[in-house]
Amino acid sequence: MEPTTEVVAARPAPALAAFVDRYIGYRMSGFAAAVHRGLPSRHMTFIVAVGPTIDVIEQTDPRQSPQRYRCVVSGLQASTALIAHAGHQEGVGVQLTPLGCRTLFRMPAAALWDTSVELADLVGPAGMELWERVQHAPTWPERFAACDRVLSALADQDRVVGPELTCAWRAVVRSGGAIAVGPLAEEIGWSRQHLTRRFTREFGLGPKLAARITRFERARRMLAYAPRFATIAQVAATCGYYDQAHLDRDFAVLAGASPTTWLAEEVPSVQDSDEFAG
C-alpha cells in the first residue's frame, strides 16, 4: 500500500476568527510505524483525533507521564514531545492562538504552559461532545462545522486578553520573531520589565522566547518547503539568524535534532505543511 496524505484547511466561524487561525483536517495512511516530534509553535496544540488516539510517549515536561488522548490540548512549549503512531493518523487540528485560551477555557495560556490535557478534563462534557461529533461527521466540512458549533458554545466573548498584550503577541507573530523586546515595549507603551512580567504571566513565556519560537517555526517551514537549491545558511539569513550555527543551536534546543536530521526524519509532515502552519 502506497503512503497517502490528505490535508484540508478551513477558516473557523467569524466568532472564533480572532483566536483560531484555521482548522486543518489530516489523514495519513500507509506509512511505517514511527515516532513524530511535536515541536514548539506559536499555536497551542489542540487536536481532535479520529480513530486511533494521540499517543504521547514523551511529554515536553518529563515530570508528566505518557498519555493517550482523544482530544488533546497543550499550552505553549519550548521543547519537543514525542508522539508514536502505527502508520495511520487522522484528525482535526485547531490552530488556537494563546489569545483564545481565556475565551475558550477560562484561564490564561500560562496555566497550560508545557502541559498536555484531555479536553474533557478541561471543559467537562463539551470536550467529549466535540470528540464524538467529529468522529461521526462523514466529511471534512461537517467535521469543521462540528468544531465551530462546540467551540462557539464554549467561547465567552467577555473573557479576553487585554489590548496591550494582544497587540504585543500579534506584533511578535507579525514580525516572524524578528522584533526585539525594547521596540516591542515602546510600541505598546510599557517598560521592558513590565512587558516581560505581564507577557509571561499571560502566556507562560516571555516575549524574547516567544520571538525565538516564532522565528524557529518560520525557519523549519522554510526548510521543509524550500527549493532543493536553497541552503540552510540561506534560510538562516532570511529568518534573521546571525548565521547557520545560530539556527543549528536553536534546532538543537527546540527540536532536539539538527536541521539536517529533522529534515531526514520528519519531512513531509502535516504539522509543517503550508496549510497547517498558516
pLDDT at 24: 97
Q: How far apart are CA 29 and CA 42, in angstroms?
A: 27
Distance CA 127, CA 114 (A): 20
User: Over the stretch 40-77, which tens digit does the pLDDT of each residue have?
Assistant: 999 999 999 999 999 999 999 999 999 999 999 999 99
CATH code for the structural domain at 163-277: 1.10.10.60
CB 260 within 8 A of CB 250: no
Name the CATH code of domain 4-154 (choices 3.40.50.300, 3.30.160.20, 2.60.120.10, 3.30.870.10): 2.60.120.10
Q: Where are the domains of the chain?
A: 4-154, 163-277
Low-confidence ranges of the chain (pLDDT < 50): 269-278
Question: pLDDT value at position 229?
Answer: 67
pTM of the model: 0.92
Grid cell, residue 154, equals 464554549
pLDDT (0 to 100) of residue 274: 46
pLDDT digits (tens, 9 = 90+) for 57-67: 999 999 999 99
* Cα angle 54, 6, 1; round to 5: 85
